[in-house]
Structure 1
Amino acid sequence: MAADDIFCKIVAAELPSTKVYEDDDVLAFRDLHPAAPTHILVIPKEHLTSLWEAKEDQAQLLGTLMLRARDVAREQGLEEDGFRLVINNGAGAGQTVFHLHLHIIGGRSLAWPPG
């Protein structure tokens, strides 16, 4: 756990969140500042700053994050109309919390290109 990481504090239940999924490795909760009607963050409970920091032995965890994001999107009713799955990797890409997280964004039509 990183002492100043807001997501580590959410995992440790030191800060509140609106959880939509949790298991031993993954936590998913609603974004406080949603960009769409459905905007959920999926995080590893293990602190991982960004995709740059991921090691080969974390490949299973990275795959699990993708599969849980799919499952959460399905549970949120996004299967028919689709959703966007985003990882902002680094400050220049818009990452503001330096704990790897996936954004599930859906519930409305999404334009392309983003940003």
Structure 2
Amino acid sequence: MKDGSVFKKIINKEIPASIVYQDKRVTAFEDIKPKAPIHILIVPNIFIASSNDINKKNKNILAHMFYIAINIAKEKKISEEGYKIIINCNKNGGQEINYLHMHLLGGKKINSLF
């Protein structure tokens, strides 16, 4: 399901996922193939294909996604030691699912690029 439909199903609770946060604008859940002890994905509840599709109308979603990521980092107690926030864009940027999403990684030193 590289087309993003898996994220929509998680948002709508049609498939099981470890949701750590959800509001009207975003959903955050644990990655099923974590790259770090803490690996949370934060996705907008409305479909946006990639960061290239951020526009004047939906630009505030990014600020909200960052705000939620920071709050989750504090809740998971990784904010003091540090964490990484990553948004990949399209194939060459490492985006595997065609749906804008943010990775929050922490719980260990993360040296390499994602």
TM-score range, shorter-chain basis? over 0.9
- Offset, 1:75: 0.7
Partner of 2:5: 5
Partner of 2:81: 81
Percent identity (aligned): 31
Larger mean Cα displacement after TM superposition, 3-12 or 25-34: 3-12
Partner of 2:91: 91
One-letter code of the match for 1:39? H
Partner of 1:56: 56
CA distances 1:91-115 after superposition (whole Å, capped 9, x unpaired): 1111111110000000001115x15
Superposition CA RMSD, Å: 1.4
CA distance in 2 between partners of 1:4 and 1:111 (Å): 28
Partner of 1:24: 24
Q: Which runs of 4+ in 1 moved over 6 A?
A: none
Partner of 1:47: 47
TM-score (norm 1): 0.92
- Offset, 1:79: 1.1
CA distance in 2 between partners of 1:76 and 1:91 (Å): 30
The runs of 5 or more residues in structure 2 that have no matched partner are: none
Distance 1:48 1:8, change over 3 A: same
Figure out how many residues of one structure are paired with residues of the other and give that number.
112
- Offset, 1:4: 5.9
CA distance in 1 between partners of 2:4 and 2:79 (Å): 35
TM-score (norm 2): 0.92
